[in-house]
């Protein structure tokens, strides 16, 4: 585990399973349908139970009949998970990097953080959005994840602790390297 202190708050990088995080919110790497899928999305719905899908269905009907646009975020309860809430966001599909992918990925992180902060949530855990089925190169995505989360912690919002949950040792090492390049040793704990 690596921890950075930023503006009196914590940015942490761990290896683990997003569905096991005991935080106010975990973020789901969803798709526009909000009806589940593989990877993180599949694991969250499988372990979290049917309440989450019911809430997603209501959100679709009420707010997003045509699906959740890439970069946007919505919130449900955590169902049977330890996390109290789930923030569902849609990262971009990697198409070579010239179709606005970096901006869309940044928006997925920013909108998730903003929504959590608006609800007064203090702790939030992210998976490496877009780096699985959506094919976003791990190192580039890690740069965006670390920059957007660190920038949010510089602001004065409710969020006090952000955890980036990597799934493999390789992804952990990539995030650790990018964090050191981006944030330096100064804030490291
Ligand atoms: N905990 C933490 N990280 C995980 C876990 C887990 N339990 N499982 C996988 N990862 P992905 P995407 C890592 O594919 O690329 C779904 O079908 C994984 O190794 O879950 O945004 C949705 O419905 C990878 O590094 O999300 C969408 O259709 C990262 O989480 C689509 O996939 C993200 O992989 C979204 O694709």
What pLDDT is stored for residue 188 in this prediction?
78
What pLDDT is stored for residue 166 in this prediction?
98
Q: Which of 127, 129, 142 to mutate to test the pocket of ligand 1 (most atoms within 8 A of CB)?
A: 127
Q: Ligand 1: distance of its center to the CA of 39 in Å?
A: 4
126 lines ligand 1 (CB under 6 A): no
Tell me the catalytic residues: 41
**DSSP states along 47-67:** HH-HHHHHHHHHHHHHT-TT-
How far is Cα 27 from Cα 111, in angstroms, rounded to an integer? 11
Tell me which residue has tokens 């935080």: 23
Mean pLDDT across the chain: 97
Give 98's Cβ-side CA count (13 Å radius). 1
Position 185 pLDDT exceeds 80: no
Domain 2-183 coded CATH 3.40.220.10: yes
What pLDDT is stored for residue 105 in this prediction?
99
What pLDDT is stored for residue 189 in this prediction?
78
132 lines ligand 1 (CB under 6 A): yes
What pLDDT is stored for residue 143 in this prediction?
98
How far is Cα 78 from Cα 51, in angstroms, rounded to an integer? 8
Q: Give residue 41's pLDDT band: very low, low, confident or very high (50, 70, 90).
A: very high
What pLDDT is stored for residue 152 in this prediction?
98
185: which 2 tokens?
């040793």
Strand extents, DSSP E, the chain: 2-6, 9-15, 25-30, 73-77, 85-90, 123-126, 161-166
- Which ligand 1 atom minimizes the distance to the CA of 29? 21
How far is Cα 175 from Cα 142, in angstroms, rounded to an integer? 6
121 lines ligand 1 (CB under 6 A): no
pLDDT tens profile 126-162? 999 999 999 999 999 999 999 999 999 999 999 999 9
Position 101 pLDDT exceeds 90: yes
What pLDDT is stored for residue 186 in this prediction?
67
């Amino acid at each position: 585990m690596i921890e950075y202190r930023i503006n009196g708050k914590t940015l942490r990088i761990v290896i683990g399973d997003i569905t096991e995080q005991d935080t106010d919110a975990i973020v789901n790497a969803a798709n526009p349908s909000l009806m589940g899928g593989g990877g993180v999305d599949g694991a969250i719905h499988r372990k979290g139970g049917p309440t989450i899908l019911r809430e997603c269905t209501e959100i679709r009907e009420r707010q997003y009949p045509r699906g959740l646009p890439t970069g946007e975020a919505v919130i449900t309860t955590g169902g049977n998970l330890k996390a109290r809430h789930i923030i569902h966001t849609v990262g971009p599909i990697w198409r070579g990097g010239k179709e606005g992918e970096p901006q869309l990925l940044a928006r997925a992180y920013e909108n998730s953080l903003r929504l959590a902060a608006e609800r007064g949530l203090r702790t939030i855990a992210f998976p490496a959005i877009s780096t699985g089925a959506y094919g976003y190169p791990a190192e580039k995505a890690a740069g965006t994840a670390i920059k957007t989360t660190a920038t949010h912690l510089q602001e004065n919002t409710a969020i006090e602790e952000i955890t980036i949950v990597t799934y493999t040792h390789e992804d952990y090492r990539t995030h650790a390297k990018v964090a050191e390049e981006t944030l330096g040793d100064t804030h490291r704990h």
